[in-house]
Chains A and B, each alone.
Chain A
Amino acid sequence: MAKWIKIAGGVVVLAAIGAGGWAYSALNTSRSSVADDSVTLAKFTSSDAEAIKRGEYVMRMGDCAACHTREDGDFAGGYEIATPFGTLVSSNITPDTDTGIGNMTEKDFFNAVRQGIGSHGMLYPAMPYTAYAKFTDQDMHDLWAYMSTVKPVKHDVDENGGMSFPFNIRLAMAGWDMLFFKNEGFTPDSSQSEAWNRGKYIVDGGGHCSACHSPRNFLSAEKESAYLQGGSLGDWYAPDLTSNPHVGLGNTSAEDIASYLTTGSDGVAVAAGPMAEAVEHSLQYLTTDDAMAVATYLKSIPASATKPGTAPKMSDSETARLADVYEVNCSACHGLNGEGISGMVPAFAGNHGLLGDDATNLVHAMLKGARAAHTHTAQTAAGMPSFAWKMDDKDIAEILTYVRNSWGNSAAPVSADQVGAMRAALDARDQIKVAD
């Protein structure tokens, strides 16, 4: 029954395309006419060293390697992305003519990166062309020059073989684009500073921050009304980046945000999980000016309406018991007063990214452990061990509730059921069972 409805829904999406969607501006490729349409990537090697260098910077900013580089070689694809509609595999974007993008012209490349129109048909919006649409022509020309220096790798990828019907039909994405894709470049706001505009260009364009930090609707499109107010990635949670003082960046200075982006820590929070990857592969390469520009723009985003969670009532004896559990298990690194170790181990006191209603990151770290970002300036990459073997669901829920409500923090309690569900989802081991 449920499947039947899904199929019917897909047919509706397809029908929408038939109803004249082609003419819709989402698929208008006139923006790409500034690019050359005669020489393919396989036959082109840029000799403009400056353009190649700038293009590498654009590649870092866009974090292309995050998805396109796995064990099969630089930019050779093969990264599996789980979506609610099946598994997608990232494509080979090396200049190989058989399995990569060697047959693309610069114009084809512009169409693919900025509009999601690829050489095998429509791209899926797991590729953030929705954000890359903002790339300037100059950045695209430079990126093209950089890609011409990439070594061709023969690696065949079936990008959408793991998608379920009707989502395995690339044409369906034309319908998706019609509904959700804004086919337009970046328009500076002349009433704002240059830094602000540069920051917004990075955040909304190459940085594609909202890909994770904005919530998505049932068809995986970002909800504009909740722009950068936090989004769930299933296993992890990308926190609120607005100026919300309870769960966002309201109490973090622009300088500290810039430091977080380039080192992995602002002295309170420490990047781990997918954010550690974003810092390692992309954000640490931002120039100081660009990192400050991003921070300037983020600080200007009005606070979301999210209120602090309702703290549970804990008796004095319960608080004292959990204080001892905290001292025994957590304090050696996170500090007796939740102060952490600056730049290395996250603090709990005043770490607003951990205080939202969604405690996924804390539960994940407890069950599977976590690793801090490893950057040029912060090389320790301290490890959080897994406590799955040592604590049961209730133990973990209690200690997380404690840290979320101590040292001035206030947040909703974490439930044992939530920990149990994540233990199963992450395939974390059970607590060691001891005889009574």
Chain B
Amino acid sequence: MNRREALFSLGSMAAAGGLASSAKAAELHGVPAQTALSADNMPTPARRGGAFQVLTDDTDRATVKAVFDRLIPSDELGPSASEAGCLEFLDDQLAGDYGSGKALYLEGPLRPENEEAIMGSPQFLSTPRERYNTGLKALEAYAQKTDGAAFSALSPDRIDAILTDLEAGKLDLGKDVNGQAFFELMLQNVREGYLADPMYGGNKDMAGWKMIGFPGARYDYRPYVDRHDQDLSLTPVSIIPSN
């Protein structure tokens, strides 16, 4: 059976299944007594303690730290990305379903000119975990080649220059790495790590939320909707409150 036939047979199975299940639909009376969330709906916290799981290579880790801390440096507004736990956040995400691309379609064929035109963004057959692995190695190799030093040992200005070129698509990291897309991936992940709920490993002490004035996982803002242009002095709240 080729792919086309498989798709067609899936369609007819779904149609048949739909008919059968509507004929047997259970009639519900009243309301379910249970209100507890099912395990599927629970948030999955970052793994507790232990060593890095994906960013195990010291050089890789130093490289991504150097990038993250230029994207969100430590200053009077708040801690740096790495100080706020963004490396731990990233490592935990890469070790799980996000890193393995569980939600992505990763089978071929891939003709980038077609898919990218349709989707409006670069498309990959590799997982985020693989893209970090190849991307960080390529960045380190680039630094060694052009500057004769480790990427993490470069000056902040030099790193900024490299990242600026990378973002503009002016820096070639080799045929295996789309440099511009890799820059965007790192920028997206560092933002997530800095601003996601602390239960996911980043945003330590809710530093990201304090910086932007986000009051956290509060259920209801009705007491505040009419209070315009005031400092509400709301303490941010994590999803899991005691931590």
Which residues does A use to contact B, with CB under 8 Å?
280, 324-325, 327-329, 331-332, 336, 368-371, 374, 381, 383-386, 388-392, 394-395, 428-429, 431-436
Contact = CB atoms under 8 A, between A and B. Distances in A.
Contact of B33 (A324, A371, A431): A371
A386 B219 CA distance: 15
A384 B45 contact: no
A228 B198 CA distance: 49
A63 B198 CA distance: 50
Contacts of B32: 371
A392 B243 CA distance: 10
Interface string B179-220: 000000000000000000011010000000000000001111
Given A328-B219, A431-B240, A432-B43, A369 B31 contact: no
Nearest to B45: A434
A395 B37 contact: no
B143 interface: no
User: Which of A336, A381, A434 gathers the greatest number of chain B CB atoms within 10 Å?
Assistant: A434
B110 interface: no
A390 B222 CA distance: 23
B145 to A, nearest CB: 38
Interface stretch (B12-20, B46-54, B124-132): B46-54
Contact of A329 (B36, B37, B49, B219): B219
Contact of B36 (A386, A392, A395, A434): A386
B233 to A, nearest CB: 11
Contact of B48 (A324, A388, A434): A434
B241 A325 contact: yes
Given A369-B36, A434-B46, 9 more contacts: A328-B217, A332-B220, A336-B223, A368-B36, A385-B37, A389-B37, A390-B239, A395-B242, A435-B45
A81 to B, nearest CB: 17
14 contacts: A280-B30, A327-B218, A328-B237, A328-B241, A331-B223, A332-B222, A371-B35, A395-B241, A395-B242, A431-B240, A433-B45, A433-B48, A434-B45, A436-B48
B223 A391 contact: no
A436 B34 contact: no
B55 to A, nearest CB: 16
Contacts of A329: 219, 241
Would you list the 8 A-B pairs with minimal beta carbon distance, nearest first? A369-B35, A332-B220, A386-B36, A383-B35, A435-B48, A434-B243, A381-B31, A332-B219
Q: Size class of B's contact patch?
A: 20 to 34
A71 to B, nearest CB: 12
Majority secondary structure, A binding face = loop
B42 interface: yes
A280 B222 CA distance: 33
Contact of B35 (A331, A385, A389, A431): A385
Nearest to B237: A328
Interface string B212-238: 000001111011000000000001011
A428 B35 CA distance: 12
A394 B241 CA distance: 12
B196 to A, nearest CB: 12
Interface in B21-45: 30-37, 39, 42-43, 45
Contacts of B30: 280, 374, 381
A386 B39 CA distance: 12
Given A386-B37, A432-B43, A435-B48, A391 B241 contact: yes
Contacts of B239: 390
Interface in B61-99: 88
A384 B37 contact: no
B34 A369 contact: yes
Contacts of B218: 327-328
